[in-house]
Amino acid sequence: MAEPVFLPLTSYREYSPEEMKDRIKQFRDDMLRRRTVRQFSSRPVPREVIEDCLRIAGTAPSGANQQPWHFVVVSDPKMKHQIREAAEKEEYVFYHRRAPKEWLEALAPLGTDEHKGYLEKAPYLIAIFGQTYGLTPHGNKVKNYYVTESAGIAAGILVTAVHLAGLVSLTHTPSPMGFLNKLLDRPTQEKAFLLLVVGYPGEGACVPDISRKPLEEIATFVDQIGT
C-alpha cells in the first residue's frame, strides 16, 4: 500500500468577510440567471471554451480521488443525428408506455415530449460517463468508489462553467442510455450518466414560467443543540 504524500496548501486565497459577501452575491446573482434551454442556435462555439469547461469539471472532488468520469464531446452532425434518433426512440417509449401518469403530470409544466430536435441543432453534445472501474497500465482492474456521486458533482460543475462562459445547456437523460456506449464506442465499464446539450440560445428562445424554491424550503440551519 502506497504511503500518502502531502504538499503545502499554496492555492488557497482568504477573503475578508466583506469580500466574501460581495463575491458570493455576484456569483449568486449570476447563477440565478441560469435557465435550462430547449431551443438552441446552430451558431458555432469555440472548442477552446468547451475544453476549459471540461477542465473545470475535472476539478470536482471524487471518491478516493479516482476521478471516475469520462466526457465525450460530440460535434459531428452525423453522430448527433444518430444520437437524436436513438434518444427519441427511448423517449417515445417513455412518454407513451413507460412513464406513470403522475410523472407525466410533473413534466407537463415544462412542455416536454419525445421530440428532441435540439440534439441535432446545438453545436455540442457532451456525454458524461461514470467509470465503474479503472485499468492500470498493465490492464488490471481498479474498482472506483462513489461513481454516481462523483460524476454528479462533476456534471454540476460543468453546467455552472457552461453558464459562466455565456452559453446555455440542457441536461438530457433518456432512459435507458445504453445506446450511447454503442454509438460512442465506450467500454463496458462505463455507464452513461448524463447527456449535456451546450450552445447559444436560439432566436426567440423561451423558458417555462417556473420558480425556484426559497432558501427556507431547501435548507435547515442547526446553529445550537439544546442541552
Q: What percentage of the chain carries pLDDT values higher than 90?
A: 92
How high is the pLDDT of residue 155? 98
Q: What percent of the chain has pLDDT over 70?
A: 100
What are 124-145's pLDDT values in tens digits?
Answer: 999 999 999 988 888 889 999 9
Please, what are the domains in the chain? 40-203 (3.40.109.10)
Q: Of 197 and 223, which is predicted with more confidence?
A: 197
User: What is the arithmetic mean of pLDDT over 161-166?
Assistant: 98
Q: What is the rounded CA–CA span in Å between residue 56 and residue 162?
A: 10
Whole-number pLDDT of residue 181: 97
- Residue position matching grid coordinates 437523460: 173
DSSP string, 78-94: HHHHHHHHHHHHHHHHI
CB 150 within 8 A of CB 62: yes
The mean pLDDT value for 57-71 works out to 97
pLDDT band at 163; cut points 50, 70, 90? very high
Average pLDDT over residues 176-186: 96
pLDDT given at position 35: 97
